[in-house]
Amino acid sequence: MKNNRALVLFLIIFAVSYPLEQLFAQDVTTVFFVRHAEKVDSSSDPELSEEGKTRVESLTAMLEKASIGAVYSTDYIRTRETCKPTAELHGVDLKLYDNNQRSQLNDMVNEYRGETILVCGHSNSVPRSANHLLGREVFEDFDEKDYGNIIIVTIPTTGEPTYTLLRY
């Protein structure tokens, strides 16, 4: 009986002294997936076109207040040029990843749990990477002429990941 009273007293003190929002708080990891911006030509590793550079300015402005903790890009000029300004704005290094290694996505999420990550890829890798983190097939490959999608995957500590598809 004394043990039960002590336990109840402890729980009351704990409940009163511990902020309620911290009791139920979760670390939510947010991943912004973007395709590289428009390129100058169809060669194997082109730079961005003027239209692409304008799109990069829009992306950087859009993510200005997003508290980006990490920026990842495939190792191509067009993808690096797309996300480098955002990395510089947030004071983080631009890291390279292999879009064929889905396990690297899991590593990113684990390393930056509770933070926001920007991942820049391609018309096929962006939707496939988002599908991987969602654990289900939601997105098909983007049309080769479509550069304006942002897939935002939100990964809570508990529960199912969710997504939002935006245009910019």
Between the two ends of the chain, the Cα-to-Cα distance in Å is: 64
Q: Is residue 12 in some structural domain?
A: no
Least confident of 11-25, 49-63, 80-94: 11-25
| 22: pLDDT strictly greater than 50 | no
- The residue segments making up the domain with residue 77 are 25-167
Residue 102 forms part of a structural domain: yes
- 143 found inside a domain: yes
Confidence band for 12, pLDDT divided at 50, 70 and 90: low
In this prediction, residue 23 carries a pLDDT of 44
What is the average per-residue pLDDT within 39-43?
97
Q: Is the pLDDT of residue 54 over 90?
A: yes
CA distance 99 to 121: 7
Contact indicator for 130, 141 with CB cutoff of 8 Å: no
The answer to whether position 55 is within a domain reads yes
Residue 61 is assigned to a structural domain of this protein: yes
pLDDT-based confidence at residue 20 (cuts at 50, 70, 90): very low
| DSSP result, 27-60 | --EEEEEEE---BSSSSSS--B-HHHHHHHHHHH
Mention every residue, 6+ apart, whose C-beta is less than 8 A from residue 72: 83, 94, 95, 96, 97, 108, 117, 118, 119, 120
The predicted structure's pLDDT at residue 149? 97
99 belongs to a structural domain: yes
What is the C-alpha separation between 127 and 88, in angstroms, rounded?
25
- What CATH number is given to the structural domain containing 138? 3.40.50.1240
Band (pLDDT 50/70/90 cuts) for residue 6 is low
Distance CA 110, CA 51 (A): 35
Can you tell me whether residue 89 is helix, strand or coil?
A: helix
Q: What are phi and psi of 67, to 5 degrees?
A: 50, 55
What is the number of domains present in the chain?
1
Tell me, yes or no, whether 70 lies in a domain.
yes
Confidence band, pLDDT 50/70/90 cuts, at residue 2: low
- Please check whether residue 93 lies inside any domain of the structure: yes
Mean per-residue pLDDT over the chain, rounded: 91
